Chains A and B, each alone.
Chain A
Amino acid sequence: MKNFSFLLLLLIFFFSACEDDETPDNPNEATLQNAVNHYAELVHANYEDAHADAVLLKAKVDALVANPSENTLTEAKNAWLAAREPYGQTEAYRFYGGPIDDEDGPEGQLNAWPLDESYIDYVNTTTNAGEVPDGTNIINSLAEFPEITKGVIASLNENGSETNVSSGYHAVEFLLWGQDLSSGPGGGERPYTDYVTDGNGTNANQERRGTYLKEVTQLIVDDLQSLVDEWAPGGAFRTSFTADEELDNSLSNIVSGLGKLSKGELAGERMYVALDLVSKEDEHSCFSDNTHRDIVNNALGIQNVYLGRYKKTDGSTLSGTGIYDVLKLEDTVLADEIKTKMEASVAASQAIQAPFDQEILAEPGKTRIRTAINLLREQGDLLAEAASVLGFTFDPDDI
């Protein structure tokens, strides 16, 4: 018996010696299950808000097309701006091949950028030969595109070797605001008369433009509905995501999504690139000059998930177990450090002034942007550190 224990001890000793590194104990299973369940709840609530706002946007777009006026155009624009608020926060659910950006996910159709605006509608220009363009774009090429439907738009969005961006929020934005031709502050200035069909309208094919606007908005509504369905209680993705055997994997997806949005996408792609090259209109919402809100909503979306709380469009707050609680079981100091960093990064994002395309040009705007970039980069690295504490790895630069 004594020998047997000795043998066992030896076995344990040698097996542990063979292991590459120490894997930490799993966080308390119950907390993990609660956190993943609550994440699914939060994602669902956020997509429901985004969907509801898109439905409202569709109603305002319908009203604009039915009765074009300064007033209906303004109402449609306001509905678009409102719809961007919940959607911007949902970007925290990207970058792990979830329903939004798995192989057949709608991300590219919903939010792709830069928009191929002159592929959609007229733009103000002349050709190399000094002639007014012949209107070769979807709205103005009747022969090539006899019918404009959401199906046609969706298929054209994939025309060519890859996406030809002609759908999503920024397509609607372009059709409401128009090209941003200003060199100073100010967004696009499309007149409501672009939708007037009684013969007194501006720019040709007003009816087809109205159809495009309605159909492309409906496509947003449809795509968001599919996301709401996947994340609904009993929904296909949610069921597997919250299943017992998937919890570790889901935790890894959640945290890596936050880190990648924070460092690679938001701090890198969306902010540093524009700042680095002082590139005009190198910003997401260039027609409406709403990029400053895109930044805040992304930063907020990250914090929502980490803290397990989300402020709904109706003003109520959904709160529950967050990633913070899971991490705290393993490393209190790091959990709090990330919490503090997120408060700072959200505040720094809110401090960036509109419009973004003027903020990048000179001080003190450049410093405000650089401050937010640095905090979001540090935040991404801290989330990668959190990942290794939780037993997995990811690269926050890899988007």
Chain B
Amino acid sequence: MKFSQGLIILIIALLHMACQEASESPWTEDWKEEGEQFSGGDATISDESVNAFGHAAPNLTGDKDLQFVTGNSFFKRNWVTAPASTEDLDGLGPLFNARSCSSCHDLDGRGAPPLSPDEQPVSLLFRLSKPSPDIAWETIPDEHYGEQLNTLAILGIKPEGDVSVSYQEISGTYADGETYSLRKPNYAFKNLKYGAFSHDMMVSPRIAPQMIGLGLLEAIDEATLQSFADPDDANGDGISGRINYVEDRITQKKSIGRLGWKANQPSVRQQIASAFRGDIGITSSLFPEQPCASQDEDCLQSISGGEPELTEDILDRVTLYSETLAVPIRRNWNDAVVLQGKSLFNQSGCTSCHIATIKTGIHPDYPEFSDQTIHPYTDLLLHDMGEGLADGRPDGEASGTEWKTPPLWGIGLMHVVSGHTFLLHDGRARNMEEAILWHGGEAQKSQQAFVNMSKTEREAVLKFLESL
């Protein structure tokens, strides 16, 4: 009798515990912030599936959710050679890297580098430029290859060349003695249409990033970004975030660059129009000139799909689509290990650049994105990331060693959506751990902090990143 009662109580206690979430230690509790799981504020979506990056912000009003459908359609559709009966969808090339936006941003996710030297890159492209002969620090497009290597072309036009990507392993050691290996990329350009690149050609590899939360990033006030900036490192923390001021083709003024690996685009609209021209060969009101280099004769003489090829309506819809993709909600955000990782991430100085919480300002087109408390883990500023990651190619005011802090929201779902974990601007990092270890320059101190952590601590940091 007594035994049974004791057993019952024990079972009740055990089952009760199983129903509860893991108990939390008090110090990790301090790192818990109510609401931090809603990375995109009211534009956060709850989905952990392969489609986690593909939803419209749930708070869109009016007809915007239907216009999102149209934008999504044009994001996925293949552009065809001009002329075609479907006249709004022709004008591909003459030179191009892809036939649709989604061939690189599949499911609105992140592209991957080729897996072998024989495989041609699809979602990894190469920006090209040369030093200006007139003005120091300025760059100009190459007279034969333009601003980007186009690996594909329409029939009758020769593509610009092929790329072979290979890697060299570099080993390193953690403070606790565990070893790691990083891979440094090497690019060999072959079958080049106008022969080998000139000796002063500057080449910058760029992988297609995920598309989420871009309208929210647009909604961050200039004053807020300026408050993050510390170009002369006045506070002496070794970190000197800089704003990239770039040409805004809409306002015809210098504006703050927010998008792109070097923050070289001021708005989603300009980013979209630039990618349409550079990557698919579709001209638009913002970029009316065909993507042909000044001395690329067969490119210059080919057929256009209209002047410009991209109708303003389609640019509107694809821009709306790209601005309104929701940010997925965090998973396990209040898990004890995740909170421990969060504290280590903060204490190692990572959040100096990967800023966790920002209040957006007023978005001119989307009241939905105004005054939102968001958790993008970026400052949108340029930072010197050291020689290891440098591309040596200036872009606007960004130097050859600077990169923009990429937002980290959603990266924990990247492997679900995109089926891989390749990170950094060229996909060299095979996972989050390698991405951290590549950090140099202003981020060297944080990288060292990670190297000096115990294995348990390192795993907690990674667990935290996976919860984003």
Contact = CB atoms under 8 A, between A and B. Distances in A.
Interface of A: 3-4, 6-7, 10-11, 14-15, 17-18, 114-119, 123-129, 133-134, 136-137, 141, 144, 160-165, 179-181, 188, 264, 268-269, 272-273, 276-277, 279-282, 286-287, 395, 397-398
Given A162-B99, A272-B70, A281 B86 contact: yes
A276 B66 contact: yes
User: Is chain A's binding surface mostly helix, strand, loop or mixed?
Assistant: loop
Contacts of B72: 268
B12 interface: yes
Given A6-B8, A136-B156, A395-B51, A163 B301 contact: no
A133 B298 CA distance: 13
A162 B86 contact: no
A3 B80 contact: no
A124 B19 CA distance: 70
A277 B313 contact: yes
A174 B391 CA distance: 47
Contacts of A10: 8, 11-12
Contacts of A11: 11, 15
Interface of B: 1, 4-5, 7-8, 11-12, 15-16, 18-19, 51, 54, 66-67, 69-70, 72-74, 77-78, 80-90, 97-100, 103, 122, 152, 154-156, 300-304, 311, 313-314, 317
13 contacts: A3-B4, A11-B11, A14-B12, A14-B16, A14-B19, A15-B15, A18-B18, A114-B84, A125-B83, A125-B303, A141-B156, A279-B88, A286-B85
Contacts of A136: 155-156
Given A18-B18, A128-B302, A165-B78, 5 more contacts: A3-B8, A7-B11, A118-B80, A119-B155, A276-B317
A23 B84 CA distance: 51
B71 to A, nearest CB: 9
Contacts of A397: 69
Most chain B beta carbons < 10 A, residue from A118, A141, A144: A118
A117 B5 CA distance: 80
B78 A118 contact: no
A115 B80 contact: yes
A322 B16 CA distance: 44
B98 A161 contact: yes
A18 B88 contact: no
Given A280-B87, A287-B85, A114 B103 contact: no
Contact of B70 (A115, A116, A273, A398): A273
A273 B74 CA distance: 9
A376 to B, nearest CB: 12
Contact of B85 (A129, A276, A281): A281
